[in-house]
A = this chain, B = another copy of it.
Amino acid sequence: MSGNTFGTLYCVTSFGESHGPAYGGVVDGCPPGLALSAEDLQKELDRRKPGTSRHVTQRREADRVEILSGVYEGRTTGTPIGFLVRNEDQRSKDYSAIADKFRPGHADYTYWRKYGVRDPRGGGRASARETLVRVAAGAIAKKWLAERYGVSVRGYLAELGTIRIPFQSYDVVDANPFFAPSLDIVPRLEAFMDELREAGDSVGARVDVVATGVPAGWGEPVYGRLDADLAAAMMSINAVKGVEIGAGFAAVAQRGSEHGDEMTPEGFLGNNNGGVLGGISTGQDIRVSIALKPTSSIRIARRTIDVRGEPVTVQTTGRHDPCVGIRATPIAEAMLACVLMDHALRHRAQCADVAPPVGRKT
């Protein structure tokens, strides 16, 4: 399996660099008959689009997506869905100052070490702009999951630096530029971001994503577990350094009598397991939390080396998100949706003939 494809049956292949001609993707394995238009993808892409507030990169991209195949008369045909987003606002000049040296915490060093060559413009392949492929693929998965299984996939910003964001409602998540599930906290987040921008620094974030309506039974133990595939999908998002399912690291300090979610005929009494037991969905909400590191491109001068190995300092003056986590919510939702759809298909392949257990109430 190639490094730029993920999924076993719902397969997403991605290509593109930040300052090349375009990004694009191929979604293979989508069932036929799903109503689909470019607008379905565009809606999700617009959620992650740069330039929507002063708190994210000011790069101006229309990010218009074009569907190139796999849809006929408004419905998927079962053949691969190719799509394309042209790059527009490329301003390569912004990056000339850093073409020869490595930003601490940035992938430009490792790409150079791996491939012996790299496209230095805007992060090249390592740019967070690649995530628009994920978002487009996730839009298809979200739609299918909702229509076929009634599954909804949502997320929100849970922490911004040291600020914990209380959960009030999913309804307000799209009504503020942070994807915060609370409007009350927004002024505080804005003040924090303004101060950060002033300081020329960046900060990390935590994003939570939740899938509701997932039936019990999705996931393939013992290596193709639902949670293992989720962990890979989330960790593959730029800047992610940690993934939790359910209680996550809080489980370390829990006792078994506290952690194990009791069951009643009406359902589970808790969700420490995040909707996954033994790698298989329980029928509860799937809960995933991710940690995003602070952006490495900052205005503060830092020690580094250049391509000759000489000590230099570097500071980045281009248009960068001071917190990549702010725009990560639609991306994490997309990855969750893609993994769920993959496992929905895998599950029915093997277990389509399994009769629902007799007498089951939950």
Contact = CB atoms under 8 A, between A and B. Distances in A.
A225 B79 CA distance: 13
A223 B6 contact: yes
A361 interface: yes
Contact of A104 (B70, B77, B230, B263): B263
A14 interface: yes
Interface string A197-210: 00001111110000
B110 A280 contact: yes
Interface string A345-362: 111111111110111111
Contacts of A224: 1-4, 6
A232 interface: yes
A277 interface: yes
Contacts of A235: 225, 227-228, 230-232, 243, 245
A236 B234 CA distance: 14
A208 to B, nearest CB: 12
A93 interface: no
Most buried by B among A16, A28, A161, A351: A28
Nearest to A218: B114
A72 B109 contact: no
B261 A105 contact: yes
Contacts of A238: 222, 278
A41 interface: no
B280 A351 contact: no
Contacts of A358: 308
A348 to B, nearest CB: 5
Nearest to A160: B252
A15 interface: yes
Interface string A1-40: 1111111110111111100111110101111110000000
A115 to B, nearest CB: 4
Nearest to A225: B236
A29 B2 contact: yes
A51 B206 CA distance: 40
17 contacts: A3-B29, A15-B80, A23-B69, A31-B353, A31-B354, A78-B114, A110-B276, A202-B255, A227-B236, A241-B274, A244-B249, A251-B291, A256-B295, A256-B298, A256-B300, A260-B296, A352-B352
Given A32-B354, A114-B351, 7 more contacts: A77-B115, A161-B252, A223-B232, A262-B304, A265-B309, A308-B359, A309-B359
